Amino acid sequence: MDKIKSGNYRVVSGITPSGSSMHIGNYFGMAKPAIELQENSGGAFLFIADLHALTTVHNSEELKGNITNVVLDYLALGLDPDKATFFRQSDVPEHSLLTVVLGNYISYGHMKRMHAFKDKLQKGTNQDSINMGLFNYPILMAADILLYKPDGVPVGEDQRQHVEITRDMAESFNKAYGKEIFPLPEAVISKETGKIVGTDGKRKMSKSLGNIIGIFEDESLIKKQIMSSYTDPNRKKSTDPGKVEGNPVFQYHDLINDDKSEVEDLKKRYREGKVGDVEVKDRLFTAHMRLFDPARKRRKELENNLDLVREILEKGAEKAGEISKKTMTEVYETLGIRNQLNV
């Protein structure tokens, strides 16, 4: 962490456009910390992992929409393209090139132990029907990261294993050639926000589980998402003393509500059985609208200025391309693929 503060710390992070828009789990778990790190002189490489979305999205219209939405969300939430390098993964072909290389430095056995793959198996999917994109997902992710030789990778807890396997690939590559081509990056995961619980109160908030609180959806939908959130199951009436710890609605208040004295007052009254769940949720909704209102307005402006967005992405891909081309040249030289016939 001291290194982060030193101002020369480079970070890389991506988001997969597999759902329609960002939710508060993405925002507090990854986007907010990554955006804060854009101030760092070591540079922030933040991208839309559109190739990763192919593991689940096989409908071109849906994918087009998802990509546009996540790009607009990210910019609206405060990503500054003059400070961070913001781009689309597919616009920088070196991500795919390095993927082909890195697959040779990790074993099948190691890949089989990855969560995303194991989760599918646990959900009853037949092993033989799992697509190879999903199986190879961590290799593409390792390429995303290693191309930029970052110090850290700001992510949520669910991505920890992917950063670990990235380190393993880097280590085994470095060892094979006896030099440190890839410095080992560390996962940057916040203790407080690395795993935001979903509105079902059980699993992590996730687009695929349908337990999210959105940021940019219609007010009525966000209200519905908040109102249907799990609270304290043992509380039958608003006069029963309620539990604040582990109660997702209060976790959301801690994250979203900038009126800290209101939050303390609600917690106190909840514990004493002096406030109903509806009021607690109503106030959460008001706080949500207050916090995200500027971003929601910015997003509307961006929607009407897609030329600017295209320009931002083009510039970002150019900047990312400069570094990733350099790394690929170094990699091909190290491998022996660059020889007297192609220099």
Residues within the interface to ligand TYM (CB under 6 A): 12-16, 25-26, 29-30, 49, 52, 141, 144-145, 153, 155-156, 158-159, 194-196, 204-206
Q: How far apart are CA 257 and CA 208, in angstroms?
A: 26
As measured in angstroms, the least distance from the Cβ of 269 to ligand TYM is 28
* Residue 22: closest CA among 35, 37, 4: 35
Q: Which amino acid is at 314?
A: E
Query: Closest CB to ligand TYM among 191 and 237?
Result: 191
Q: CB-based contacts of 112: which residues, under 8 Å, 6+ apart? A: 118
Among residues 32, 149, 207, 281, the one annotated as catalytic is: 207
What distance separates the 2 farthest-apart alpha carbons in the chain? 81
Q: Which is nearer to ligand TYM, 77 or 153 (CB)?
A: 153
Q: Shortest distance, CB of residue 195 to ligand TYM, whole angstroms? A: 5
Nearest distance from residue 117's CB to ligand TYM, in Å? Answer: 13
Of the candidates 32, 120, 281, 319, the residue annotated as catalytic is 120
38 vs 159, beta carbon nearer ligand TYM: 159
Q: Does 120 participate in catalysis according to the annotation? A: yes
**Minimum CB distance to ligand TYM smaller for 159 or for 257:** 159
- Smaller CB distance to ligand TYM: residue 145 or 226? 145
Minimal distance in Å, beta carbon 272 to ligand TYM?
30
The verdict on whether 204 is a catalytic residue reads: yes
Query: Among residues 3, 112, 175, 204, which one is catalytic?
Result: 204
Burial of 336 (0-12, 13-18, 19+ CB in 10 A): exposed
Q: In what order do the strands lie in the sheet with 44-48?
A: 85-88, 44-48, 11-15, 152-154, 186-188
Residue closer to ligand TYM (CB basis): 255 or 275: 255
Residues 212, 207: Cα–Cα separation, whole Å:
6
Question: Which of 76, 101, 105, 92 lies closest to 165, judged by CA?
Answer: 105
Minimum CB separation from ligand TYM for residue 288, in Å? 16
Surface-to-core class of residue 220, CB atoms within 10 Å of its CB (0-12 exposed, 13-18 middle, 19+ buried) = exposed
Least distance to ligand TYM from the beta carbon of 212, Å?
A: 8
Count of C-beta atoms within a 10 Å radius of residue 234: 9
- Rounded Cα–Cα distance for residues 66 and 63 (Å): 5
In the residue annotation, 32 being an active-site residue is answered as no
- Residue whose C-alpha is closest to residue 24's, from 191, 207, 159: 207
Two tokens, residue 311: 């320009």
Q: Which residues are catalytic?
A: 120, 204, 207
